Amino acid sequence: MLKILVPVDGSSNSLHAVRHVVNEFRKNAALEIHLLNVQTPFSQYVSRFVSRRDRHDFHRDQAELALLPSRQMLDRFGVPYEAHMELGEKAYVITDAARRLHCDHIVVGAARKSSLIRMVENSTINKVIELTTVPVKVVAGDPVSPLERYGIPAGVGTGLASLFFAAAE
C-alpha cells in the first residue's frame, strides 16, 4: 500500500494536489492518504502575552479551516484519509512527517511560476525537495498573474543588465 502525504493550507493550489490524489485513488484504491496542515508558531513576544491554551486553540481552529476544503473533496469522492495538524517550520515539519509516517510520496500543489522566479525564491517546496529523501510530486496549480509571469522576470533581467553595464564602465 502506497502512503502519500499531502500538505494542505486551504489554498486553491493545495486543492489541485488533493484532486490529483483523488484521481490516483481512482486508479489504485490501495493508497493511504495523509493530509497535513502545518501552522507557524507565534513569536516569543506573542507567547509571553497569550496563554498556551489560547495559542493551541487558535492553531487548531486555523488548521481545521485549512483542512476543511480538502476533507470535503476527499469525503465527496469517498477517499479514506487521515488528517494531521502540526506546529513548526513548514518544510521541516513536512519532511519529518513524511519520514515518521513512512510515506512513499509527497504531493504538493504550487502556483505556476516562471523558472527564474522558482529558481531564486526561497519556497517551502524547494526546501522540502532539498531536505527529504521521499519523491516529491509538484502539481501545477492556478496560473500566476501576468505581472508575476512576465513583469518580475523582466524587472530582474533589467536589474541584472543595469548591474552588468555599470560594472563594465
| pLDDT tens digits along 16-42 | 999 999 999 999 999 999 999 999 998
From the list 107, 92, 138, 128, the residue with the least C-alpha distance to 21 is 107
Strand order in the sheet with 31-39: 81-87, 31-39, 2-7, 105-112, 136-143
For the question of whether the overall pTM of this predicted structure is more than 0.75, the answer is yes
Q: Give the range among 46-50, 56-60, 154-158 with minimum mean pLDDT.
A: 154-158
- Nearest Cα to Cα of residue 143 among 5, 16, 8, 30: 16
User: Is CATH 3.40.50.620 the right assignment for the domain spanning 2-168?
Assistant: yes
pLDDT at 143 over 80: no
Q: Once rounded to an integer, what is the mean pLDDT over residues 49-65?
A: 93
Give the pLDDT of residue 115: 55
pLDDT value at 152 more than 60? no
* pLDDT classification of 60: cutoffs 50, 70, 90: very high
Average pLDDT value for the chain? 86
The lowest-confidence range among 8-17, 112-121, 126-135 is 112-121
**pLDDT score of 117:** 54
For residues 147 and 156, what is the distance between their CA atoms, to the nearest angstrom? 12
- Cα Rg for the chain, rounded, in angstroms? 19
Q: What is the mean pLDDT of residues 96-106?
A: 97
Which carries the bigger pLDDT value, residue 166 or residue 13?
13
| % residues pLDDT > 70 (the chain) | 80
pLDDT at 128: 92
Residue 130 vs residue 37, higher pLDDT: 37
- How do the domains of the chain map onto residue ranges? 2-168
Set of cell numbers at residue 121? 525564491
